[in-house]
A = this chain, B = another copy of it.
Amino acid sequence: MEILELESFLPYRLYRLADTVSREFSRIYKERHGLTRPEWRTLSGLGERGTMTATELGEQSAMHKTKVSRAVAELERRRWLTRTPDENDRRVERLALTRAGLAAYREMVPLAKAFERELLGRLSVDERVAIARGVAALEGALEGK
C-alpha cells in the first residue's frame, strides 16, 4: 500500500523548520519588547526602508493587510511610529518610525544578525551554500504563485 513519509515530505519539513526557527527567533523580540511577529516585521520594514505605506509594508513583508493594520495601530499606540496623510492621495498614509521606534529598531538589528549568524554558524560552508541556493530556487519556483 502506498504510504507517505511525513518525515521526508518537503512541505512538512519546510514548515516545521520555519516554525522552529521562527519560534526561536521570536523569543528575542518577544522577550525584549513584547512584540508580535507582525509588529516586529513592521518595525523591521520601516527601519529598513525609512517610510512606507501600509500596503507597501504588506507586500514587503508578506503580511495580510489586517495584520499590517493591527501591527501599525499597536506601534502607533507605543509611539514608535507616526502616520502622515499623503498629499496626493488622501486614502494613503505614509508611515515612519519615531525616535523611540528607531531606537528599538537599532537595538534589534544586531540581535537579529547575531541570531542568524549563530544559526548558520552551526553549518559547514557547503551546507550554507546549499541552503541559500535551495531556498532561492524554491522562491523562484513559487514566483507569482
Residues in chain A within 8 A of chain B (CB atoms): 1-7, 9-22, 24-25, 41, 44-45, 47-48, 60-62, 106, 108-110, 112-113, 115-116, 119-120, 122-124, 126-127, 129-135, 137-139, 141-142, 145
Task: Check B123 against A141 for contact (C-beta < 8 Å).
Answer: yes
Number of copies: 2
Task: Check B123 against A14 for contact (C-beta < 8 Å).
Answer: no
Query: Given known contacts A4-B47, A112-B4, A137-B123, is B17 in contact with A21 (CB within 8 Å)?
Result: no
Contact of A142 among B3, B6, B17, B127 (CB under 8 A): B17
Q: Which residue of B lies closest to A135 (CB)?
A: B13
| SS of A interface (majority) | helix
Task: Check A106 against B9 for contact (C-beta < 8 Å).
Answer: no
Collect the chain B residues with CB atoms within 8 Å of residue A61's CB: 6, 12
Collect the chain B residues with CB atoms within 8 Å of residue A6's CB: 41, 44-45, 48, 60-61
Task: Check B138 against A21 for contact (C-beta < 8 Å).
Answer: yes
Contact of A115 among B11, B16, B112 (CB under 8 A): B11
- 6 A-B pairs besides A9-B112, A24-B142, A134-B135 with CB distance below 8 A are A4-B109, A6-B45, A10-B120, A20-B142, A131-B137, A134-B134
